[in-house]
Structure 1
Amino acid sequence: MDFETRPLTAGPDTPFTAAEIRTAVQELLGLDGLPPIVQVGHPVLRQHAAPYDGQLKDTELAQLIERMRDVMHAAPGVGLAAPQLGIPLQLAVLEDHFDIDPIASEIRQRTPLSFFAILNPRYQPQGTSTASFYEGCLSMRGFQAVVSRHRDVHLHYQRPDGSAASAEFSGWQARIVQHETDHLNGGLYLDRAELRSLANDAEYTAHWAYPGIDEARHGLGFLNP
């Protein structure tokens, strides 16, 4: 059963200048350990991040991407956007190699996603099909909610080497792409979520941790046709 996706209201442009962005990145790279992930309520998560246009040296960009990958792995998560580390820049990293139940993998169309970084991404839906599943966020620890997203998307982005790229994604990979791109526009998954489905991790595990959402949809009363 397909459900409509909820529109996203873009946030205001970041007030950071190019110099301020570079300073913030240099401070982050100078930390001894991994930086903390910014949590909901911080203004950077609600701002439209600055397009990447060479604010960083190539070495700084490469180091930032590697640091973001380390933070994503440590969290652990399947994606991380620069604003989640307090950097209002159109940059995100994605990777999904988690082992999950084969039945859940099939229902959610979840297949491995090799690591890659995206700059200045934008996506368009391919067709009208949608998928609705529970989704969480590293910037809103401890909660999950059902989000309806496009099942298939076409992503346009810039690689770290400056070259333009595009690719099509389906299923869970498309969900990751949409989630991380939304972050760069000041969006959180809650903006698109069915709020009656919202559950903390303990209650989700106790009641709604199924491959699909039918039990939660009927038990909590959301997404009724």
Structure 2
Amino acid sequence: MSSDAKPTDLSAARIHETVQQLLASGVLPTIVQAGHPVLRQFAAPFNGQISDAELGQLIDLMRRVMHKAPGVGLAAPQLGIPLQLAVLEDQFDVDPGVAAARGREPLPFFAMLNPSYEPLGTATVAFYEGCLSLNGLQAAVMRPEQVRLNFTAPDGSPQQREFRGWQARIVQHETDHLHGILYLDRAELRSISNNAEYSARWAQPDITLARKELGFLPGD
């Protein structure tokens, strides 16, 4: 799915002002929820709208918000900033059986600017996902199992990295945020569950039971 999201109409000066206000507030901001237009805009590519010092402060703030939530990724639009910046980190203690089934390995913290990804190979896999901007819901999403990520590091250097398994899922989810795409756009709609039903019924290592009982991805 390519994004047909409308580019943000916020000027570089307005983005700078928004970041300054956020950094000066002295509190952890709340995470923007689905329905806010910023989540449906193609965020502005980073090209120096804020200083290196402000960028470092914003990355630190986003990391703290992500940890508090808690989550494994956070994109700048989720704080109301239409800028192509996201932070990612997965250090959660996960049951070894679940981790093996999902290809979930720890992901050291990193921040990415202006990311894009492409599938490597044709293998795809579906698992349940949630989102900090869609409180209370989970849904199964089919995604490429392995991707190549191109992005700019905070120091301005171009980077290319390959990810597979759960790390690839996180990378795709956060990059999508910056292009105005939410995970529900890619989800199997019959799989949608609230958190209580997901925890009670579908929080197995894979989606075999859920797909059978809820009737999605039949015959695959």
Both proteins in one fold, TM over 0.5: yes
Partner of 1:121 in structure 2?
115
* Number of residue-to-residue matches in the alignment: 219
1:93-104 superposed matches below 5 A: 93-104=87-98
Partner of 1:181: 175
Alignment partner of 2:160 out of 131, 156, 166: 166
Q: What SS does structure 2 have at the residue aligned with 1:118?
A: strand
Q: What residue ranges of structure 1 are gaps of 5+ in the alignment?
A: 1-6
What SS does the aligned partner of 2:188 have? strand
d(CA) in 1 for partners of 2:142, 2:2: 12
CA distance in 1, matches of 2:64, 2:47: 24
- Which ranges in structure 2 are unaligned for 5 or more consecutive residues? none
TM-score, length basis structure 2 = 0.98
Match of 2:28 in 1: 34
Cα distance in structure 2, aligned partners of 1:131 and 1:8: 19
Deviation of 1:10 after TM superposition, in Å, equals: 2.9
The correspondence for 2:146, drawn from 138, 152, 165, is 152
Partner of 1:4: none
TM-score normalized by the length of structure 1: 0.96
Question: What are the Cα deviations for residues 161-219 of structure 1, in whole angstroms up to 9, with x where unaligned?
Answer: 11101000000000000000000000000000001000000011111110000000000
> Aligned partners of 1:205 and 1:169: how far apart in 2?
27
Match for 2:171: what amino acid? V
| C-alpha distance in 2 between matches for 1:207 and 1:173 | 25
Letter of the 2:44 partner, please give it: A
Per-residue CA deviations over 1:72-98 (Å, capped at 9, x if unaligned) read: 000000000000000000000000000
Report the counterpart of residue 42 of structure 2 in structure 1: 48
Secondary structure at the counterpart of residue 196 of structure 1: helix
Confirm or deny that 1:219 pairs with 2:213. Answer: yes
Q: Aligned partners of 1:10, 1:62: CA distance in 2, in Å?
A: 30
Is the 1:8–1:192 contact (alpha carbons within 8 Å) kept by the matching residues of 2? Answer: no
Task: Give the Cα–Cα distance (whole angstroms) in 1 for the partners of residues 5 and 100 of structure 2.
Answer: 35
Aligned to 1:25: 19
Question: Percent of aligned pairs with the same residue?
Answer: 63
Distance 1:10 1:94 in 2: 24
Query: Which of the numbers 7, 12, 24 marks the counterpart of 2:6?
Result: 12
The one-letter amino acid of 2:154's match is P
Cα distance in 1 for residues equivalent to 2:3 and 2:218:
24
Q: Aligned partners of 1:115, 1:160: CA distance in 2, in Å?
A: 13
**Secondary structure at the counterpart of residue 128 of structure 1:** coil
RMSD: 0.6
Task: Describe the shift of the 1:8–1:192 C-alpha distance in structure 2 as closer, same or farther (beyond 3 A).
Answer: farther
Question: Letter of the aligned partner of 1:63 in structure 2?
Answer: Q
Aligned to 2:105: 111
1:45 aligned counterpart, secondary structure: helix
Distance (Å, rounded) in 1 between the aligned partners of 2:11 and 2:3? 23
Alpha-carbon distance between aligned partners in 1 of 2:27 and 2:97, rounded to the nearest angstrom: 38
Q: Over residues 115-138 of structure 1, what are the superposed CA-to-partner deviations in whole Å (9 max), with x where a residue is unaligned?
A: 000000000100000110000000
3-state SS in 2 of match to 1:27: helix
Distance of 1:85 and 1:74 partners within structure 2: 14
Match of 1:131 among 125, 129, 143: 125
Distance 1:222 1:8, change over 3 A: farther
Distance in 2 (alpha carbons) for counterparts of 1:220 and 1:197: 6
Check the 8 A contact 1:82/1:89 in 2, yes or no. yes
